[in-house]
Structure 1
Amino acid sequence: MAKQEVTSKKAASAASKTLRSKTASKAAKSAAGSTLSQSKAPNKVTGEKASSAASKTLRSKSASKSAKSAAGSALTQKPSKKK
């Protein structure tokens, strides 16, 4: 079952800023795109590729604060692993 979360206005703004940035990495932009796609869709979840990109962005020393904010938001909307 999908998490019933949507992207906050603050996270959506950070994602938009990241997507407009000329210096943001491909991974950061992927995570930001996933974040924005979920801004008003509670049933959408972050996919594996976007999750991986978000994780990479959070680990990056050079990623901006807005890119990391968008990446964090994308990861919170990832479905939990069940064993």
Structure 2
Amino acid sequence: MACEWTDRFADLKRWGDYDKINMPLHGRIHDNKTDPKSAYKIQEIWPARKFDAAKHMAWPMNPDEISRSNGAYRQTPGW
């Protein structure tokens, strides 16, 4: 788990908390961006993901690596 200490997405994947992954992200949008005490609105800042655990738990393998492996490697399921 090198360098994942700030990656909330990786944590949620590892814990199997897919419902939280598929929700939109919300944040504060301040009226005055230089004053954190200014009035703000909460709004969606990132749309909901379409996380499919069967596909997105692992990255796809490079097709060239699969070809060079002489059948030892197979493509990651879903990719």
**Same fold flag (TM > 0.5):** no
Q: Which has the higher strand share?
A: 2
Query: TM range, normalised to the smaller chain?
Result: under 0.3
Q: Which has the higher helix share?
A: 1
Q: Which has the higher contact order (CA 8 A, sep 6+)?
A: 1
TM-score using structure 2 length: 0.23
